Amino acid sequence: MTEFLEELRRIAQLGLNYTRDPFDRARYERLLELAAIEYESLCGLPKETAIERFRRDVGHVTPHVGVDAAIFDSERRMLLIRRSDDGLWAMPGGWAELGETPQRSTEREVFEEVGLIVEARDIINVTSRLPGEYGQPHTSCHLLFHCVVTGGQLTTTEEAIEAGYHDPESISEWHRDHGERVKAAVRFSRERLGN
């Protein structure tokens, strides 16, 4: 079903991007609405929210790219945030932006969320999510970078109501699949950084 919905949405969004005919535009809008109705039952995302997100992505539909930062201190603890949107723990990160490399997007997200200046170095792993997973209506790929702090001051923000270095094993309530990504980061730290 998700493959069908992704294809239906892709056709509607491409059509809305390229058509000049008002009747075709209405047909593509209806296709987008039908897809949104099905996404609502698949992942619990309200139809209106799904339509709004889809309209922002008119054109050639590609996976969204997410970036996250694995940052360790000298005591082998990991920088984690408690997110303001769901109150769960995660690594600093977010969506990549146009005109930025994934590394630059990671560095920007860390600064925006916790006030630290970092250098994104190694890619630790790449994961993906399909529509319906974690209530999302789109396919996404997520890059996890090992980052090193080069400046700034650790702080909380509107996005991160708590921020600090923690032993990841002491955390049990993870945002979406961050628990699995943190495990990959810890393995990387042990194998590559000797932590």
Same domain, 76 and 102: yes
What is the dihedral sign for C-alpha 50, 56, 62, 68? negative
Same domain, 52 and 105: no
Q: What is the pLDDT of residue 59?
A: 67
Q: What is the pLDDT of residue 58?
A: 66
Same domain, 52 and 98: no
Work out whether strand 64-70 and strand 140-152 pair parallel, antiparallel, or are unpaired. parallel
- This prediction has a pTM of 0.74
Last residue of a domain, one of 10, 36, 56: 56
Q: What is the pLDDT of residue 195?
A: 62
- Residues 116 and 70: their CA atoms lie apart, in Å, by 13
Same domain, 43 and 25: yes
Same domain, 40 and 91: no
- How buried is residue 40: exposed, middle or buried, by Cβ count under 10 Å (0-12/13-18/19+)? middle
pLDDT tens digits, 27-59 = 999 999 998 898 888 888 888 988 888 887 766
CA distances from 175 to 18, 33, 88, 172 (A): 37, 29, 5, 10
Q: What is the DSSP letter of 86?
A: T
Residues of the domain holding 29: 2-56
Closest to 144 in 3D by CA, of 82, 67, 63: 67
Same domain, 101 and 154: yes
Tokens of 81: 């945030």
pLDDT tens digits, 153-169 = 999 999 999 999 999 99
Q: Residue 148 maps to which CATH number?
A: 3.90.79.10
Low pLDDT (below 50) residues in the chain: none
Same domain, 69 and 149: yes
Phi/psi-derived region of residue 87, left when phi > 0, alpha when psi is between -120 and 50, beta in every other case: left
Same domain, 23 and 101: no
Same domain, 88 and 175: yes
Same domain, 8 and 92: no
Last residue of a domain, one of 56, 86, 102: 56
Same domain, 41 and 78: no
Same domain, 48 and 71: no
Domain count for the chain: 2
Q: What is the pLDDT of residue 33?
A: 92
Q: Burial code of 162-185, b = ≥16 C-beta within 10 A, e = fewer?
A: ebeebebeebeebbbebbebbeeb
